[in-house]
Structure 1
Amino acid sequence: MKIAVIGCTHAGTAAVTNMARLYPEADITVYEKNDNISFLSCGIALHVGGVVEHAEQLFYSNPDQLAQLGIQTHMRHEVLAVDTAAKTMEIRNLATGERFRDAYDKLVITTGSWPIIPQMEGIGLENIQLCKNYNHAQAIIEKAKHAETVTVVGAGYIGIELAEAFQMLGKKVILIDNTDRILFKYLDRAFTDPIEKLLADKEIRLALGQSVQAFKGEGGKVQCVVTTAGEYETDMVVLCIGFRPNTELLKGQIDMLPNGAILVDEYMRTSNPDVLAAGDSCAIRYNPTEQPLYIPLATNAVRMGTLAAHNLVQPAIPYRGTQGTSGIKIYDLNIASTGLTEQGALAAGMNVKTITIIDHDKPEFMPHYENVMLKLVYEEEGGRIVGAQVLSRADMTQSINTLSVCIQNRMTTRQLAFVDFFFQPHYNKPWNLLNQAGLQAMEQERKERDGKVLAQ
């Protein structure tokens, strides 16, 4: 069996390392157009801020390691075309310019994603940087050495982390986003308000609810960002607007969402039975809505890549879907979320209720304890949990992993109320915070029911 894999970051690395173990007799060939594999781009802000001293520490595999597994890895080789009917590919060696063809029995698409680059005036000016791969990380570090003011466009996870890193380096930081709040996709307003206050206290300038329209500069270098609300002088811009799937190779040959994300079934198979796909090139079933959705996360990618390997020959292990579970540390705040926010659920047309708990992480008789804010989003009919968020100076983020499991298993607030959690004063209270959320949801339901009875 001849297996070809296009792209080798997270999903690709997970796929080939598992395939080498599962199919030792197979001929496995990887084509990667970059000069490195397995770079953890989520660590770029840590590198910029000096927490991770060497960017090389953000790699967890390399071509030599794959070669030891018997995998043929062709770096700096770009796949120009794929013919899924003929099972052939056209490839170009980027170092020599040589072009050649290759064939396959099974094809695995792990081409990942690429930053969204707005097409507007001045986008080609120097010091406007992307933030995705190893080379971007090195360029950001080098350019930042000569920048007094840095503007970050996009207030998602990457943008927030970079803004923090630049501020800690002593830079003046401007953070621009077209929504009226930071982390709009991940958190509701009660959670973003204290984070915005913290950023403002650190003198990060928040320019929210405005869209970038152009960049201005002299001598080929950016000097100004023009938005719908004004102009901001700057020495450097980092674009963190979002990502799009790299799937042009397969357009018209397999089924995709309108944004180009490949549609796969629970076994990572595309609409062509001999083509599997995984990672940021794909849409995946989003359990809160039970619909396919594009969620480019490294955690999704490694799971999908592993499953693509296990299901390559025949269906073996189904994917359970995703909740888009994620977390972030901003200065001394620990934040995590899973599933839908309240605003996201309402936008999806769902009829939901919420419970927000503000409590201490440990009993008050303990010498140290911290405030915790937890929000649960659940369906009004039946109480199925569809989302949750947590924020605290204490690390309570693992509670969101627990709630991710609850959403995946379609648990209700009533079931959550009586889950068996341990109690130990160093860690929690007799009634665990998650139990409390379930209990308060039940109490809210009872009061509403009694209110309706009285109104009749």
Structure 2
Amino acid sequence: MKIIVIGCTHAGTAAVTQMAKLYPEAQITVYERNDTISFLSCGIALHVGGVVHNADELFYSNPTVLKELGILTKMRHDVLSIDTINKTVQVHNLANGQTSVDTFDKLVLTTGSWPIIPKMDGISLENIQLCKNYAHARTLIEKADTAQKIVVVGAGYIGIELVEAFEQLGKEVTLIDNTPRVLFKYLDEPFTQLVEDELTTRGVQLALEQSVTSFTGDNNGRVNKVITTAGEYEADLVILCIGFRPNTGLLENQVEMLPNGAIIVDEYMQTSCPDVYAAGDSCAIRFNPTGKQAYIPLATNAIRMGTLVARNLVKPTIKYMGTQGTSGIKIFDYNIASTGLTEQAAIDAGMNVKEITINDDYRPEFMPTHEKALLKVVYEEGSGIIVGAQVLSKVDLTQSINTLSVCIQNKMTMDELGFIDFFFQPHYNKPWNLLNQAGLQAYAMS
């Protein structure tokens, strides 16, 4: 069996390492256009902020490791086209300029995503940067060393983490986003308000509910100003964190996709084309709170999907369970996590939901310290089925969101949440766990 894997970050690395173990007789070839694999881009902000001093530590595999597994890894090879009918790929060797054709029995597309780059005046000016791969990380470190006024465009996870890193380096930071709140996709207003208060207290300028329209530069071609629908902001360095779109042009018009280009796969990671599989940020996946296909680019999803591709490559074996989009972030002293739908997202999706918000000390008040915890659980009004949750505290309670992710996965109700068996120990919680409290309050209101 001849297997070709295109792209080797999270999903690709997970897929090929499992394939090598499951199919020792197979010929596995990886084509990767970059000169590195398996880069943890979620660690870029940690590198910028000096928490991770060596960016090389953000890799968890390399071509040598794959070679030892019997995998042929062709770095700096750009796949130009795929013919799914004749099962061939055309490949350009970026090192010597030669083009060749390879054949496959099974093809796995794990080409990931790429940052959205808007078309507008000044976008090509120097010091307007992206934040995705190893090269971006190195460039950001270099540019930030001499920049003082830094503008971050996009108030999602990556944008917020970079803002924190730059603020701690003593930079003047402006955060621009077209939504009314930071982390709008992940958190409801009581949570984002605390984050915004912390940012402004530390001197970060928030420019929300406005969109960037253009950039201006100095006589040397370097960006010096960001123009938005509501004002203009001086900048020595601009980082675009607007979002990502799937890298799926190679299979355009050959497999089923969402309108944004995300490949639709079945429960076994197979596309609509036989013997062609896909995983990671190039794919749409089932979002369990709605039961619909959605584009949720997360490293955790990518690793799971890559592993499942390997398990299901020869025959359907293990079904993908879908996702809740569970994620977490640490901003200054706050530990934050969320899963499923926010209340606002549920309403926007046309769902009839209710919510319970708990703002309480996470453990008994007789303990030497007892920090506040903010927990919100969103659930369907009629059935009581849990569809989303968020938590924020200066104590790390983020694992409670993993618990609620399981609850959403299994369509548990608020009544059940109120009486789930959680341990009690004064060092960690109260006799009625915060999650129990949320369920009990919902029960009392029903």
Q: Which amino acid aligns with 2:298?
A: L
Output the amino acid matched with 1:431: W
Is 1:93 aligned to 2:117, yes or no? no
Shift of 1:16: 0.1
What is the distance in 1 between the residues matched to 2:266 and 2:3?
A: 20
Q: Which residue of 2 aligns with 1:164?
A: 164
How far 1:262 sits from its partner (Å)?
0.2
**Whole-angstrom distance in 2 between the partners of 1:40 and 1:363:** 38
Q: For residues 270 and 421 of structure 2, what CA distance do their matches in structure 1 show?
A: 38
Could you say which residue in structure 2 is the equivalent of 1:5?
Answer: 5
Amino acid at match of 1:423: F
Alpha-carbon distance in 2 for matches of 1:330, 1:393: 10
Q: Does 1:52 align with 2:52?
A: yes
For residues 244-259 of structure 1, what are the structure 2 equivalents within 5 Å?
Answer: 244-259=245-260
The one-letter code sitting in structure 1 at the alignment partner of 2:289 is: P
Q: Secondary structure at the match of 1:100?
A: strand
2:113 is the alignment partner of 1:113: yes
How far residue 193 of structure 1 moved from its aligned partner, in angstroms, is 0.4
Cα distance in 2, alignment partners of residues 262 and 410 from structure 1: 26
Alignment deviations for residues 398-417 of structure 1 (CA, whole Å, 9 cap, x no partner): 00000000000111111111
> Which amino acid counterpart does residue 414 of structure 2 have in structure 1?
T
Query: For residue 152 of structure 2, what is the aligned residue in structure 1?
Result: 152
1:22 aligns with 2:22: yes
Aligned residue-pair number = 445
What do the CA deviations read for 1:49-108 (whole angstroms, capped 9, x no partner)? Answer: 000000000000000000000000000000000000000000000010000000000000
- Which residue in the other structure is 1:77 paired with? 77
Output one character per residue of 1:272-328: Cα deviation in whole Å (capped at 9) or x when no partner: 120010000000000000000000000000000000000001100001100000000
What TM-score, normalized by structure 2, do the two folds share? Answer: 0.99
Structure 1, unpaired ranges of 5+ = 446-456
RMSD of aligned C-alpha atoms? 0.4
**C-alpha distance in 1 between matches for 2:331 and 2:105:** 47
Instruction: Give the equivalent residue in structure 2 for 1:122.
Output: 122
Residue of structure 2 equivalent to 1:440: 441
| CA deviation after TM superposition for structure 1 residue 146, in Å | 1.0
Report the Cα distance in structure 2 between the residues aligned to 1:47 and 1:387, rounded to whole angstroms.
31
Per-residue deviation at 1:12? 0.1
CA–CA distance in structure 2, aligned partners of residues 409 and 26 of structure 1: 37
- Report the counterpart of residue 333 of structure 2 in structure 1: 332
In structure 1, give the amino acid aligned to 2:368.
P
2:146 partner SS? coil
Separation in 2, partners of 1:125, 1:383:
52
Structure 1 residue matching 2:263: 3-state secondary structure: coil
In structure 2, the residue corresponding to 1:185 is in which secondary structure? coil
**Cα-to-partner distance string for 1:326-369 (whole Å, 9 max, x where unaligned):** 00000000000000000000000000000000111111111111
**Cα deviation, residue 130, structure 1:** 0.2
Structure 2: which amino acid aligns with 1:167?
A: E
**Partner SS, residue 145 of structure 1:** helix
The two structures have a TM-score, normalised by structure 1, of 0.97
CA distance, structure 2, for counterparts of residue 260 and residue 131 of structure 1: 21
Q: Which amino acid aligns with 1:187?
A: L
Counterpart AA for 2:416: Q
Once residues 24 and 444 of structure 1 are traced to their aligned partners in structure 2, the CA distance between those partners, rounded to angstroms, is: 58
* Overall identity of the aligned pairs, in %: 70
Cα separation, 2, equivalents of 1:380 and 1:95? 59
Query: 1:279 aligns to what?
Result: 280
User: Displacement of 1:443 after TM fit?
Assistant: 0.7
1: CA distance, partners of 2:15 / 2:278? 10
Deviations 1:127-164 (A, max 9, x none): 00000000000000000111011000000000000000
The equivalences for 1:303-452 within 5 A come to 303-445=304-446
